[in-house]
Structure 1
Amino acid sequence: MTVAAIRGRQHALGGHQLKKFGLAAAAILCVSLAASPAASHSAHKALTQVSPQNAAVAAALTDMKGALLTPRTALPFDNGGVANNCAQYSHLLFTSAPDESTRSAEIRSEYLVCDAVRMVGTQPFMVTQAALPPNAAKALYERLDLRTLPSSLRNRADGPTHTLKTLLAVGKVTMTQDTVEVETGAQFFSLKIVGVVSRPATKGGGERLQKEWIVWIGDELKDGNYKSYRTLIVRPSRDSRGDRYTGTLYPVQ
């Protein structure tokens, strides 16, 4: 299985068990943009806004209960537990981590959409349709500091050589507005922005929102010794001065 598995597959759990995991879909508040202008303005100020940039994420946020219960390939955890859907996956993450074998890494690519549901589904949110900046993927390629997160490139990242552009300068680059992929003879590395999260400012700032990008990482060595498919939370710079971007793996383990 390759990085294409990130798009995911689909063992159901009863509703009473779902509540045990603290992610019952009934507890999630989604506000429609079709509301009156006044209501929408109020909602924009008070709620986290999520703009999906990926069909699987959009579908999951529209049907949270379905997303939590959709059957997926069994994912073993290091405490002996096994997840078969997003609800079980989220529950197990409180006490353990997915097995670190390359096969488990491949399976985890099916659960990346679960990370998005877990990240935004713990508080009221509204789904919006905001577009990405036209240079979003290019900014990740040129400005994301790979010293700030675990990857196959981290040991090589140092000084001025710490971005995808500088670390894989000889690679073949394929880029769209939301995705950058770099391939060399030995490696494949991709960054795909699948959602934009805008959170109300917690102090000062009035209506100002803090933006985060939900980014899926595909990181493979072609000899088969290393594969990683994870979710990264990137907080983009507020200006275009060339400031570096930093990323945090989600969930943190």
Structure 2
Amino acid sequence: MKALVYRMGGLGDSLLVYPVLEILTNKGYELTVWGNPEYFKLAVRAGFCKRVIFYQPKEDFDLKIVFSKNRELLNSNSSIHINPIPEEKIWVVDYYLKKLGLENEKFSKTLPLAHQPSAIQGSKFKVQDGKLCIVHPGSGSKKKNTDLTFFFELEKFLKKSGFDVLYIVGPAEVEFTNIFKNSVYIEDSLEIANTLLKANLYIGLDSGVSHLSSYLGVPSIIIFGPTDPEVWHPIGENYIIIRYEGCKPCFPNVCEDRRCLNPDFLISEFCKYVKKLEVSQAQIMGIKNQ
């Protein structure tokens, strides 16, 4: 049986479809993904699909799953169309599986991606004693980003706690390479994954890199602002979410004051968690999703 899954979107959007790919592959489908190859090549590496393409295939498929609002796309008797944005307040992965009648199927909570040992690409950064915290200071939308003063204060606190700090930046925050000297610019998703796997702790906003960190099993602290973590939280079992509960999620129509991303609040909340941690990796690995 041959199946085609269509999903265009960013890294985080793509990763949230991976459980569907894994389940279909385990059911015996020869799976092709029509999406951004950069974001789905991790699925190929994990064995969740056979190939990824960027343009519409010409061959026939027994099953077509289309994550798009465009119902004319791949419209046929073998097509299942799913709005990529949940129509109810439910975790997006559960929503997808429910729509496909796969809600009772099991999937990996940790992405089975073999680590490829390598130096941190494009960086002379060296880790001392295995105490590395990787920070991603951006996201795919500036509406979800906090003021950079938060990261300056965060880095001071992390260094006092014994961590080396490395920033990952990509195309969405390329200007940060001049702001954070201890940063590495990476576009390749496999290289991002390999770099994240070197970390003892990860900190980031609601971004594709944060989703990947959690999915890889790296202990992660993820900051949600205007987006709803009940709907958009990552796959994984070793992460903590920080969010200001004094206001409701409002993305994409974000309010002007954005109290949910106030740097003083975030530092205060962040310190509550990190102060509970010992510097040793064994105790850092004890972070659990709350």
Instruction: Give the TM-score range, shorter chain.
Output: under 0.3
Length-normalised TM-score, structure 1: 0.27
Q: By percentage of residues, which structure has more strand?
A: 1
TM-score after normalising by structure 2? 0.25
Select the structure with the greater relative contact order (CA < 8 A; seq sep ≥ 6): 1
Q: Greater Rg, structure 1 or structure 2?
A: 2
